[in-house]
Amino acid sequence: MKKRRVVITGIGVIAANGIGKDAFWSAIKEGRSGISLIERFDRTPFPTKIAGEVKNFNPADYIDKKQLRRMDRTSHFAIAAAKMAVEDAKIDLGNGYAERTGVIIGTSMCGIGYLLEQHDTFRDSGPMRISPFTALASFPDACTSQVSIALGIKGPSFSLSTACSSASDAVGYACEAIQSGKLDFIMMGGAEATLYAPIFASFCVARAMSTRNSEPEKASRPFNLDRDGFVLGEGAGIFVLEEYEHAKKRGAHIYAEVLGHGMTCDAYHMTAPDPKGDEAARAMEMALKNAKVSKKDIDYINAHGTSTQLNDKTETMVIKRVFGKQAYNIPVSSTKSMIGHLIGAAGSVELVATLLAMDAQMLPPTINYEVPDPECDLDYVPNKVRPAKIEIAMKNSFGFGGKNSILILGKV
């Protein structure tokens, strides 16, 4: 049986530099950073005092106030972005489509914030003062259940947790469900809210994050010679994934078709990528083969680009290994330079940037690119947006534990 085609017809996004696709894309085009001094908790004790914090988000705009207390900030982000995506797609998935629609959301730490807050209550006020919703709000699948409830979606509903590749893996699994005919629509993407002091402290102790506190907006500087670590971010990117013929029939705006996906694992180290890049390269080759496109057809790569010394160098090496001399002709940029690293939601918010770039035929910049690194010598679209033909794009995601997840997208 011929595989059904899968397209993206709705976008919802929450990021430090913009809430909603229009605000987000405006910031990306302007090369505007959302990195700032942390306000969610006392930043004084930490060597890193900056993050991609979402500061102008009011969950009550999207969720009943009574329900807000019953869920984690990750779920707030997921529901809000899902509602944006449904509105953008101009379809009511709970009306006639409920049984043929699923929810798949990638998240690395969903519910951990709620649990940490309730632990403080437990410690300070005793066991009988914690919220009765603590267990329900803190389990990893909570955000997908909340999205299903909020939108009346009755198909399969589950979370994927594969560290920083979670959201991209969610796209891959969602595509397979539609291609096989099991479902017609899927709400999919990623959501993450990790800006809680204990989590933040663990990354500080690991010395993984930038300490450029005096210039927050310049701290995330992927591929730049003096990069000194990633910047933690939060937010969500949720999409309406739809079978192509149905989307075409109803006259939906199609952002792109998901052409292929590749997944592998380095099986090497929990934080460091395999310096040989064998499995990252295999994931790229797998995605290209699955998409049935040639390497010369790739017009743009949205990189994982974390702004850490080892990851940026390894990703550059892998791109050159896969594409050979052609690598120097492919624009590569990192959206993390403007929003930070959203861990489980990284791939989805960066996918939003990729889709909007394809829609506008403009390359998102890598900001703060000032001093070239001899080992990172590709075209990173430095500092300014650039008009370009983008028919086929690659989105890279690499996660803790050696997870590699690659997406190929094409204009329809």
Residue pair 352/13 in contact (Cβ under 8 Å)? The answer is yes
Three-state SS for 91?
coil
Pair type for strands 403-410 and 256-265: antiparallel
Q: Give the residue carrying structure tokens 């996660």.
A: 399
Active-site residue, 304 included: yes
Catalytic residue (choose from 143, 261, 304, 376): 304
Residue pair 332/379 in contact (Cβ under 8 Å)? The answer is yes
Catalytic residue (choose from 175, 204, 341, 376): 341
Catalytic residue (choose from 164, 175, 204, 376): 164
Active-site residue, 164 included: yes
Distance CA 303, CA 6 (A): 23
Structure tokens given for 393? 């794009």
Active-site residue, 175 included: no
Residue pair 343/108 in contact (Cβ under 8 Å)? The answer is yes
**185 DSSP β-pair partners:** 101, 242
Closest CA to 381 of 327, 331, 328: 331
**301 DSSP β-pair partners:** 332, 394
Q: For 22, how many CA atoms within 13 A lie in the half-sphere containing its CB? A: 2
Helix, strand counts (H, E) of the chain: 13, 15
Where in the sequence numbering do the catalytic residues fall?
164, 304, 341
